[in-house]
Amino acid sequence: MPFLGQDWRSPGQSWVKTEEGWKKTTANEKNNNVSVQSFCKAEEEEECFNKENLLLSLGYDMAAKKRKKDLMNNNTKVPYFHREKWIYVHKGSTKERHGYCTLGEAFNRLDFCSAIKDTRRFNYVVRLLELIAKSQLPSLSGVAQKNYMNILERVVQKVLDDQQNVRPIKELLKTLYISLCGLVQDMGKSVLVGNINTWVHRMENIMQWQQRLDNIQINRPTSTGMTLTELPISLQLNIMQRLSDGRDLVSLGQVCPELGALTEDRLLWKKLCQYHFTDRQIRKRLMVSDKGHLEWKKMYFKLSRCYPHREEYSDTLHFCTHCHILFWKDTNHPCTANNPESCTMSLSPQDFINLFNF
């Protein structure tokens, strides 16, 4: 039976094939050769690694300097906007998911950039921006705050181009400027993210936007068709009943004396009051004229100072209570429920903010 172990005639030696032929080498010689080769290889790898680290560090330094310069000067040319149609809202850590979704993360990831171009969603986004400006701006991350200003800039530019929705944007800018005046004074208390010079520059931009909106000139339409005053009075009143804001009625009445007389119609203001306010709220603010008639117009503006208006939007964000996904109304989401519509709820701008207050 052959011996399968180590050669007993030459303990500690083994045959190794070389360029000159087969040779006997001891374990020590073999280890020395291997150690020399590995040492040379390690030196080469270390040299390459040092070169790569040097290049990376230089690249990181240049990128950091560029980011710092852009932050100080606010000169980022092409802001990045997320275009996700739906996001998963998780409010805590589980075995499957770690972390939670915040208001700033949702504001960054949802496609608000395309939403402002949609007429159905424009008022919804503007109202959401106004609510964030009032109380939620400090809760946003630095990226979300920057994204907020970028979206606001696009909103202002759209209003200047379309010459529509001027008043709500002016009110939004006024609310934001008042909020920033109070927040900038508390910069040392970690209220806003970033350098104070950056926020001062943004406040200057807001003032410039306000001036451009104040100086906007509404171009007269070039169409030669029938005007509003040429329609029958019943149709004019029917059109006025479509207006949901009393300030729009007042502005319309200032166009000409004929329209001014129609906008004083008591039935118009009565329907406005009944649309925005409850019967109980109306009964608390009754105002009667000398002739014994209810002053619906005065009651409307008095009620507006005491109670919020009813909000109605053509398109809103929706939330699925089954799969916890936030999405726009006309976009599909991967719901696993048998009847997805039964577990879907429409969110007002305030409901959207309350969804992340936990």
Q: 110, 132, 105: which is closest to 121 by C-alpha?
A: 110
Is the Cβ–Cβ distance between 194 and 70 less than 8 Å? no
Position 221, amino acid: P
If one compares 173 and 23, the residue with the highest pLDDT of the two is: 173
Residue 54: pLDDT band (50, 70, 90) is very low
If one compares 268 and 192, the residue with the highest pLDDT of the two is: 268
pLDDT of residue 357: 76
Residue 128: pLDDT band (50, 70, 90) is very high
Helix H or strand E segment including 212: helix 196-214
| Statement: residue 56 has pLDDT above 60 | no
Residue 276: pLDDT band (50, 70, 90) is very high
Domain definitions of the chain by residue range:
86-215, 245-306
| Statement: residue 127 has pLDDT above 50 | yes
Q: 113, 131, 110: which is closest to 122 by C-alpha?
A: 113
pLDDT of residue 95: 59
Residues 175-214 have pLDDT tens digits of 999 988 888 876 555 567 777 888 889 999 999 999 999 9
Q: Which two tokens stand for residue 273?
A: 């009051």
Chain position carrying tokens 């799969």: 323
| Statement: residue 78 has pLDDT above 70 | no
Q: Which two tokens stand for residue 333?
A: 């989401």
Cα within 13 Å of Cα(185), Cβ side? 5
| Statement: residue 37 has pLDDT above 90 | no
pLDDT of residue 99: 54
Chain position carrying tokens 């240049």: 62
Q: 182, 178, 173: which is closest to 153 by C-alpha?
A: 173
pLDDT of residue 314: 84
Residue 115: pLDDT band (50, 70, 90) is confident
| Angle between helices 142-162 and 166-184 in degrees, nearest 10 | 150
Residues 203-241 have pLDDT tens digits of 999 999 999 999 988 777 676 677 888 889 999 899 998
Q: How far is CA 119 from CA 77, 110, 111, 328, in A?
A: 26, 17, 15, 14
If one compares 293 and 158, the residue with the highest pLDDT of the two is: 158
Least confident of 226-230, 307-311, 333-337, 339-343: 333-337
pLDDT of residue 93: 59
pTM for this entry: 0.69
Q: Which two tokens stand for residue 341?
A: 């519509």
